Amino acid sequence: MKTLINFLKTKDVEKSDIFIHLKTSVTEANILRYIAKKYVEGQDDALVITLLQDLYAGGEYKHLDHLLEVKNLLELGWLHQQSFTPLKISDVTPLEILNSAVGLTPSFLKLLQDGTLDLDLPDVKPYADHLGYLQDQFFRIELYQKMSVIRQNVHEHSLGIDRLQNKLKLLEKRIEERVAQTSENLVLDKFFKQKKMNNYEQVIFIALLREEYSATDASLREMNSLIDLISVDEYERIKNRSLLEEGSHLLNSGIIDYEEMLNPFGGISRSFYIVDDVLQSIIHPQKTKKVTRLKLNALVEEQDIFELVESETSLEDVVLNNATKETLENLMRQVDKEVVNRLVKWGIKDKKSGIDARIIFYGAAGTGKTMTAYSLAKSLKRQVLAFDCSKILSMYVGESEKNVRKIFDTFYELSEKTKTEPILLLNEADQFLGARSSGNITGSDQMHNQMQNIFLEQIENFRGMLIATTNLLENIDKAFSRRFNYKIEFKKPNEAQRLELWKKMLPKSAPYADDFDIAKLAAYALTGGQINLIIKNTAYKVAVREEPLFKLKDFTDEIRREKDANFDSEKSMGFLNK
């Protein structure tokens, strides 16, 4: 504590031992000494207006002349602002800090305690193993991260940045010297050289590797966080984005990959991670056996319960009623990783449980329930394991209950073996979800009730994302209704939406009559599924003609034929905005 006492007791602050390290004016050093005295008396922070009045009292508001000096100390990194709202100090006017509280930063406290800001860097000696090398590399990322934080909150040419840059250069030189002296195989260093990764690519990789070891809430996985880590200014941020975009060395070489999520603001965010095989080779270099991940499609081919669906369309491609679209967007916000991390932090969710959501899509046939389920999966970068619920009743009596459990057991088994999180889609789930029989019931009713009870139990304990589609929500048993987090209605499209559907679905390269009027087709009250089928049926009819030409009458004839045939009873189909 010799340095601290010297700083507090030396009459002329410029003669104190640490003044040469501060790079401040005498007035600014006196402000620091005032706050340091308050600190040793048990006061963690001081109001700016109070400290300036105490130091520079004299009336005529003379103390206000020294606000800029307080701001300079904040920019230098010797003081920090005690605020619930993080502020970029370079954007704050001096007057804005007048009624705020400021305190000494850890850097200044270290200077008071040790009389120096030098870090304890590793000795220049060979690495004993790759873990020692990783420790130094993680320390390197810590320095990059500290510089990134300072750049975002204070002036980029502050003393804090210069100090950290010097430490980083010294550390990187030490690492290079230690590697040169090491005869032991350093897996990560060898990997960098084999893949010919430049310095920035190495920093990105080590940052992601550090996240794997530290099991944090993915603070450095997001694209902008990684770019900020290696970028000094806005120009470099723009230039360095190419390191994480399609076609980059890291992505093309299969070193890293990313997950895409809709963020709460409606945009797309990318969360990066190290590809599994690469990660295992770094974390467990002693294992020579290559770690392989079973492919979901290969396992699905070996069973007869699920159909594996990988959608080619995302939610942006689907034409939906505005209310339905808004509900889906809210759902996407709820499953955003940042939101999930908050729920884990609050103790609402188990960190290992992933995204849990039980959803009902309900509405008339042809309104796009199934297609939207596929498109939602695409937006979440998930595959779909689809099950047609009508299959369950085709099983012989006494086996239905067992087969209900088999649906869910097989789903969990496939997810576990492939280490993936597919979406479970239960199509036409009406018989599962309908009201259970009561009163004088037959043996068949009893069996059906038992099957539903098992289904209810499985829904209650379901882990992951499940979507059930049904035509009539009012027929659903209340016990089931309570188990679903989201109930999303699919309404029949209005005329404007029908016009959009016709425009998107009609063949672009087909020949049309001069008087063809698509607006007249939109006047017919049809669902997206009906429009889709009518276009296909009409196309088959026109294609066999010697002079194939689409006329309005071709479509209106097909519309009347399908309506007369009770088209509304047809199976639900999705519809696309393409």
462-520 pLDDT, tens digit each: 888 899 998 877 667 777 778 888 888 888 888 998 998 899 899 988 999 998 999 99
Q: How far apart are CA 467 and CA 429, in angstroms?
A: 10
Q: What angle do CA 152, 119, 192 make, to 5 degrees?
A: 70
pLDDT at 406: 85
- For residues 557 and 538, give the distance between their C-alpha atoms in angstroms, rounded to a whole number: 9
pLDDT tens across the length of the chain (578 residues): 888 999 999 989 899 988 888 888 999 999 999 999 999 999 988 999 999 999 987 767 888 888 989 888 887 778 888 764 545 565 678 888 888 888 898 878 888 888 776 555 545 688 888 888 888 898 889 888 888 877 766 444 455 676 777 778 888 888 888 888 888 788 899 899 999 999 999 999 999 998 887 755 446 788 888 998 898 888 898 999 999 988 899 998 889 988 776 555 555 677 888 988 888 888 876 654 444 445 677 777 777 788 888 787 877 778 888 888 888 877 777 666 677 777 777 877 765 555 678 899 988 888 889 989 998 888 877 889 988 887 766 554 556 667 788 888 989 888 888 878 889 999 888 777 776 666 666 666 777 778 788 888 888 888 888 999 988 776 677 777 788 888 888 888 889 989 988 998 999 889 999 989 999 999 998 988 899 899 999 999 999 998 899 999 999 999 988 877 654 444 433 444 43
> Which domains, from first to last, does the chain contain?
2-114 (1.10.10), 130-283 (no CATH), 296-490 (3.40.50.300), 495-569 (1.10.8.60)
Q: What is the pLDDT of residues 230-266, one digit of tens each?
A: 988 888 989 999 999 888 999 988 899 887 765 555 5
| DSSP three-state, residue 245 | coil
Q: What is the pLDDT of residue 573?
A: 39
Distance CA 382, CA 422 (A): 5
pLDDT computed for residue 164 by the predictor: 75
Among residues 246, 280, 269, which one has the least CA distance to residue 419?
A: 280
The predicted structure's pLDDT at residue 91:
64
Q: Identify the pLDDT of residue 382.
A: 84
DSSP string over 319-366: ---HHHHHHHHHHHHHT-HHHHHHHHHTTSS-GGG---EEEEEEESTT
Q: What is the largest CA-CA distance in the chain?
A: 106
Phi, psi of 257, rounded to the nearest 5 degrees: -145, 180
Residue with tokens 């990988």: 310
Q: Residue 423: what are its φ and ψ, rounded to 5°?
A: -95, 135
Apex CA 456: angle with CA 452 and CA 460, to 5°?
170
Percentage of the chain lying above the pLDDT 90 cut: 19
Note whether 578 and 317 are within 8 A (CB). yes
Instruction: Say which DSSP state 380 is in.
Output: T
pLDDT at 561: 87
Q: How far apart (Å, rounded) are the C-alpha atoms in residues 207 and 271?
A: 13
CB within 8 Å of 268: residues ≥ 6 apart: 260, 261, 262
| Three-state secondary structure call for residue 267 | coil
Residue with tokens 């860097």: 121
- Identify the sign of the CA torsion 323, 329, 333, 335: positive
pTM of the model: 0.50
The pair of structure tokens assigned to 319 is: 């034409």
Can you tell me the distance from the alpha carbon of 381 to that of 369, in angstroms, rounded to the nearest whole number? 18
| 268 vs 72: CA distance, rounded Å | 38
25 backbone φψ class: left, alpha, beta (φ>0; ψ -120 to 50)? beta
Number of Cβ within a 10 Å radius of residue 376: 26
User: For position 531, what pLDDT does the model report?
Assistant: 92
Is 519 exposed, middle or buried (CB count within 10 Å of its CB: 0-12, 13-18, 19+)?
Answer: exposed
Query: What is the model's pLDDT at position 256?
Result: 92
Report d(CA 533, CA 229) in Å as an integer.
Answer: 52
Integer Cα distance of 276 and 269 in angstroms: 21
Closest-CA residue to 487 (of 321, 328, 356): 328
SS3 490: strand
How many other CB atoms sit within 10 Å of the CB of residue 291? Answer: 12
The three-class DSSP label of residue 484 is coil
Is 553 buried (19+), middle (13-18) or exposed (0-12) by CB count in 10 A?
A: exposed
Q: Could you give the angle at which helices 199-214 and 223-230 cross, rounded to 10 degrees?
A: 130
